[in-house]
Amino acid sequence: MKHVVGISLGASSQDFEFTTSLWGVRLKVSRVGADGNLERATELAHLWGDQAAVLGLGVDQDSDDLMALIGPYRGTATLTTGTRLGGILQEWSVRHAQHQLGGLFNNARTLFLSGLQDYRVALALSEYTSNLQFADPVLQLGVPKLLGSVEALNRYADGAHYVKDWSLPAALNRGPVKEWARFVVRKALQKASVVVAPIHLLDDFDLEALAGKVVIAANVNEARMATLRDKGVSTVIDGAPVLQGHSLGPHLLDSIVIAATGKHPEDLMEDDYLEAIAALKLEPRVVLPNGFQRTNRFAFVIHPLSQEYFKKLKPIEMLSQVSPPVFMNSLERILAYTPPFVYSKVSGIESPTGARAEGWLISVGGTPKEIMRHDPEFTYRRLLDAAAMAQRLGAQIMGLGAFTKVVGDAGVTVAKRAPLPITTG
């Protein structure tokens, strides 16, 4: 029987041990915690180096830094950090949740606390939403600016190695600069519906920041799951699968695959991992800590029905009382050219079955008179601008209301060109 050991920086009180088999190879699997102490983790690596067949090192550092930390290693056990498998598991968990929960990530506003660390997740989510933000510059360099796309993250990564080991001077790493950076992340977190982060980075955020959020993380233990429940998190998607009642971090699962195949970590293919996952009948965890609390998002297009609606603005109402009719007629024509804007946000919608929804009323400026005065393409352009705005807001579907749904071909052209589903009811 081969013995594989996973060394974690987590608490030793959560250690476990069990036996299993993969492809006919009997395996003894142990998890050993270092209680957050890197020196203790190093001691454990040397201690188990001659006793285990494979040693999984579960610390949040890349392989080069880790080997430097361990120092001269003379053990016979094969070493792995499970970094490559971790990316595969997280990508798999995203696709699994998207399928199981029916379009959960469609146009979702998503914040990554570490886009470089969760790059494969970013690539997977970019297939479902373009509303991605990355806090790497804020948390790594203290620069209060978020990255807004995978392309921007790639450009940042190209130059990140120049400043990888740089940190803010002590004089700047506290006070207003640090607080401003934290404020930027907190505001972005409040606007997001999905958060992707190494689980320990969420410890600094409270109920106000995390309530109702979908959290994508790895290796979430029961203690942290309870904390997320208390902070109001609606859904936790964890790429670390459960085997015999124990959550397996990528370093430990990678150790199991290496021991069963007898291959060197660099020789393993993705197919090897997929076959192992299938053989062990593993699945990502989708946990609802507070019960089912999904909130769907919509947008609905409205427009003023007549000049009287303009008078809801006090300055226009006052001017209309002293101006000739030509003023209101000219204003009506001018406002037809204004870009769409958010009229209001609607929240707190809940059906008798418990399904929840929130959305935005997006107004275009044209009255029915102006809509009919212009050719259909004029209105199509305004509606497509509204659809782009709805997508940025995170809406999963947009409805056309009033006169906008009967212009031209009754929404067919807009539905073909829009970046999100369109309905006229």
Structure tokens given for 173:
């790493």
Q: How many residues does the chain have?
A: 425
Label the pairing between strands 110-112 and 194-196: parallel
Helices 38-48 and 63-70 cross at an angle (nearest 10°) of 80
CATH assignment, 295-423: 3.40.50
Write out the residue limits of the CATH 3.40.50 domain(s) in the chain: 85-245+283-287, 295-423
Q: Are 284 and 219 in contact, with CB atoms under 8 Å apart?
A: no
Residue in this structure with the two tokens 């494979």, named with its chain if needed: 54
pLDDT at residue number 161? 54
- Comparing CA positions, the residue from 117, 124, 288 lying closest to residue 198 is 117
Q: pTM for this one?
A: 0.84
Give the pLDDT score at 62: 43
Q: If phi over 0 gives left and psi between -120 and 50 gives alpha, with beta otherwise, what is residue 29?
A: beta
* Backbone φ, ψ for residue 297 (5° rounding): -125, 135
- Residue 254 tokens, joined: 């990678």
Across the chain, which has 425 residues, the per-10-residue mean pLDDT values are 90 90 94 86 86 84 51 76 89 93 94 93 96 91 88 86 55 65 89 92 88 91 90 93 89 94 90 92 91 90 86 76 82 90 92 89 90 90 95 95 78 91 89
Cα separation of 183 and 373, whole Å?
Answer: 48
Instruction: Take residue 265 and report the two structure tokens written for it.
Output: 């970590």
Distance from C-alpha of 156 to C-alpha of 158, rounded to nearest angstrom: 5
Q: What is the pLDDT of residue 200?
A: 85
For the domain bounded by 85-245+283-287, which CATH number is listed? 3.40.50
